[in-house]
A = this chain, B = another copy of it.
Amino acid sequence: MSKGEETRQAILDEAFSMASCVGVGGLSIGALAERTHMSKSGLFAHFGSKEELQLAVLRESQQRFADIVLRPAFRQPRGLTRLRAIVLNWLDWTREACLPGGCVIMAAAAEFDDQPGPLREEVKNGLLAMRRTLAETIAKAIETGELRPDTDIDQFAFELEGIYQVTQQSRRLLDDPDADRRALIAFDRLVRDNAVLKEKE
């Protein structure tokens, strides 16, 4: 790893945690330079434009998300076990990734949803990929016979996303201590409604 890549990564590390607090749009090169003990121009040279920096932060976020949330969950056996692992890691990932200001990607989604450009596309693709990953995992839980074959996979993923979003909001804005518990209740209900019928107990 050359010196350049090294500092570039160091900048991204700082930018990542900074973006958690002020949003990807709220990043400023001056402030970032200060926190990395660099000159504005020296830092700037690594990216060429602010937008390129923002894109790099988004990509960094997605990679960390994959490392922290998805990869460990995919070591679990396919089916509901794995799906549940994703949900648990997901709910926990802002803590795990040291994101003092919440999930960078979700914040960016709200920020750029009506501002056409590369940033919007990047966020959109990231979220679509997440939906796809969820869908595949759900499909495997059908294969294992845990969920009913007529389960609406995309609907399932859709509702899962909703649970995640409201949990974040409840935790961060409303300071609701029950948010995580509620998220799991909602998840269990979602699973139960799509599970194959067991013997009546």
By a CB distance below 8 angstroms, the chain B residues around A173 are 109, 112-113, 120, 123-124, 127
- Residue-wise, chain A 106-148 has the 8 Å CB interface mask toward B (1 for contact) of 1101111111000010011001100100000000000000000
By a CB distance below 8 angstroms, the chain B residues around A21 are 114-115
Shortest Cβ gap from A183 to chain B (Å): 8
Q: Which secondary structure characterizes the binding site on chain A? A: helix
Segment of A46-54, A81-89, A153-161 in the binding face? A153-161
Cβ contact within 8 Å between B169 and A182: no
Cβ contact within 8 Å between A113 and B172: yes
* Any B CB within 8 A of the CB of A193: yes
Cβ contact within 8 Å between B186 and A158: yes
Cβ contact within 8 Å between A169 and B174: no
* Any B CB within 8 A of the CB of A189: yes
By a CB distance below 8 angstroms, the chain B residues around A164 are 162
Complex CA distance for A110 and B178, rounded to whole angstroms: 19
Q: Pick from A164, A178, A182 the residue with the most CB of B within 10 Å.
A: A182
Can you give 30 contacting A-B residue pairs, CB < 8 Å?
A21-B115, A101-B114, A102-B114, A106-B110, A107-B110, A107-B111, A109-B169, A109-B173, A110-B110, A110-B169, A111-B111, A113-B169, A113-B172, A114-B172, A120-B173, A124-B174, A127-B169, A127-B174, A154-B182, A155-B182, A155-B185, A158-B186, A159-B162, A159-B186, A161-B166, A161-B169, A162-B162, A162-B186, A165-B166, A189-B193
